Amino acid sequence: MRSGQARIGPATLLVLIVLVWAISWPAIKIGVTNVPPVWYGCLRYTVATICLFVYLAARRMPLFPPRSDWPLVAVSGVLQMAAYSALTGIALTILPPGRASVLAFSTPLWVVPLAAWRLHETVSRLALLGVAMGLLGVLAIASPSLHADRHSQVGAYCMLLGASAAWAVSIIFVRAHRMAASALALAPWQMLIAAALLCAVAFAAEGPVPGINGIGIASLLYVGPVATAFAYWAVVAVGQHLRARIVSMSLLATPCLGILISALALGEAVDRTLVLGLALVGAGIAVSAMSH
């Protein structure tokens, strides 16, 4: 993959990440309509784990992380991967992928108050303004569902906010931890923990491993190797060459493109509340990032 990076370049690789993740939302939507959502997350991370272990072995990189990094592996595997995947997967059985992707990418909004509480970071007025704008965007997106007869959709939105908050908690933990191994070396172990946890939950909540049709297999073959294993490697590779602010701001294009792809591929309706919510969430994240 290193030679591929040299041919492509970090900027182009960042564009590929946005495209891959944008496509993944309708792909996961299709997947969880054919495979129970928790089982889907389990299979997704199982495939990604195998891909990354093979890559590390091929590159002759260390396969076992040092003991000091195991707490980070556990927290990230449980929150950033297992909880995030399960909650977004269940929500996608109820909501269209465009709306879901916007809320799932609202993670930076929750990082600001969590960093102030846990890491004692100073929160500027600009950062608070960004969080407020983002929360208004969340309300705008969810507003069509705020009726008594749509309680399942409200629950799905809460799952998406819970997923983004779980990812934010993981980010805060990573900030406070000094990694001895590289992020790429830890990734397959994080994914292995996520797959194992999701497997246990899936058996308890959804029963034995289901039969998977061709559509479900096709979705997993994209989301597992490409949108999970490759994308994780690509984010690490890009982060070594581009500033974190540039990467985070560029990734804001993911839900925008995801909405467009979902509208074209699945016929998702794009109304004023979705556009307004997307604009507010994106602006809130941008303002929060500029405050650092």
Each residue's pLDDT tens digit, 245-286:
677 677 778 888 888 899 998 988 888 998 999 999 988 888
Report the C-alpha gap between 96 and 198 in whole angstroms: 23
Q: What are the domain boundaries of the chain?
A: 2-290
pLDDT at 184 over 90: no
Rg of the chain taking only CA atoms, in angstroms: 18
pLDDT of residue 148: 55
pLDDT of residue 120: 81
Over the range 76-115, which residues count as b (16 or more CB within 10 Å of their CB) and which as e? bbbbbbbbbbbbbbbbbebbbbbbbbbbbbbbbbbbbebb
Question: Over the stretch 257-267, which tens digit does the pLDDT of each residue have?
Answer: 888 899 998 98
Q: Are 44 and 221 in contact (CB under 8 A)?
A: no
What percentage of the chain has pLDDT greater than the value 70?
94
Helix/strand/coil for 106: coil
Half-sphere exposure (CA, 13 Å, Cβ side) for 218?
A: 9
